[in-house]
Amino acid sequence: MMKRLKFRGHEIFICLRPHTGWKNQLSFLPEENLFELPLRNSLDIFSAYKIAKIIRERNIEIIHAHAARDYPLAALAVRIAKIKLVLTRHLLFALNPLHKFLLPKDIVFIAVTEAVRGKLLEQKLVPPERIRLIYNGVDILHFQTTKETINRKKLLQELKLPVESLLVGIAGEVSAHKGQADFVRAAAMILKQFPATEFLIIGRNGLAQNKYREQLEKLIEEFGLQNKIHFPGWFEDVAPIFSILDILVSASHIESFGLTIAEASASACAVVSTETEGAKEIVENNETGKLVPIGNPTVLANAINEFLQDEAMRKTFGLKAQKIAKEKFDIERMINETEKVYKEILSANKK
C-alpha cells in the first residue's frame, strides 16, 4: 500500500524499530524518509516527542498507525504536534482502557472487516461515523497474471513434489490458533480416499511457536504422514504457490479478516475455511468456497474431499471467488478509500 501511495504522489515517512527487517522492504523510499526509533513500549515518551519533532520538521499532515501497541505513541505525538491521527484496527480483541484515555476525540478508525467495526462500536471509543470499513487489499492483477503464466510442473519439481499430485495447502503463521493440527488430522482422513494428495503447511514460525511446530511434527509422525505433509516455509510472494494449489484451507480458530483466503480467491483457487468472523465476510458458502465449523477435522476433511473429487466444481468456485475478490478486495480500491479518508480529514481541518 505504501509503495502505491508514493507512486500516486504522496510523500511517505516511516518510523520503525531498529533491526525489524522492515527497512529492506522499504527500499522504494528515500533513506531520509525512514526514522529508526526505540519505540520501546506504549508509553515511550521519548519516542513520542521524537515523532512529534519529525512531524514538525517534515510538515507531516497525518499519522497512520496499524498496531495497537503503537496507538498510544502515535496519539501522544499528534497531540504534541497538533495534527490528525488515523488508526487501522486489524483484530477483534478489545482495546484496553489506556487507549480510551489517550486517543484524541477526532481520530478516525479504519476497520478491516464489519466484524472488527462491530467490536469498535461496542467499545464506544469514538462516534460511529469515525469508524470506516475498508477491507484489506490484494493485488488482484498480480495473482491473476501469475495464475495464467505459472509453470506448475516446474514449481512442483522445485518443491520436490509429484507433478501429478493434488495439492492442498494451509498458509499463515505456524501457530495453534491457525488450526494446523486440525489440518493434519483432516489430511489423515483425506488420504484414505485420495492417496495421491500432497499437503503443504506454508508459513513461518517464530521462536515462541517452536514448541507448536514440534507438536505438529509429532502428530504428523503419529499418523505416518511424514512423506505427505510438507513444510516449504514462507514465500515473500505467495502468488506462485497459491497458483498451483488445488485447494487452500483456512482452519483458523479465530480470524478477523483472512488475507490468505482473499489471496487464494484472487488466484481462482478453491477455498475451504472454518467459519471465523473474517472468513464469513470473504467466502460465500457453497458459492465461492466452503465454510465448516471451527475445530472439527472430520467435517473439514469431508469438505476438502468434495472438492478433490470434482475438478469442475473447484474451477467454478475458484472463478466465482476471483470475481468477488476483484470487486471487494482489490488493492486499488483499498487505496482509493484510504485516500478518501485522508482527504476528508484534511479538508475538515481547513474549515
CATH classification of 140-328 is 3.40.50.2000, yes or no?
yes
pLDDT, residue 23, reads 81
Q: Name which of 136, 58, 164, 113 is nearest 278 in CA terms.
A: 113
What homologous superfamily does CATH list for 2-137+331-350?
A: Glycogen Phosphorylase B; (3.40.50.2000)
pLDDT, residue 206, reads 58
pLDDT, residue 24, reads 82
pLDDT, residue 5, reads 93
Task: Identify the H or E element spanning 135.
Answer: none
Q: How far apart are CA 83 and CA 347, in angstroms?
A: 13
pLDDT in tens, 5-47: 999 999 999 999 998 777 888 999 999 999 999 999 888 999 9
Q: Please, where in the chain does CATH 3.40.50.2000 lie?
A: 2-137+331-350, 140-328
296-319: b (≥16 Cβ within 10 Å) or e: bbebbbbbbbbbbeeeeebeebbe
- Which residues of the chain fall short of a pLDDT of 70? 206-209, 349-351
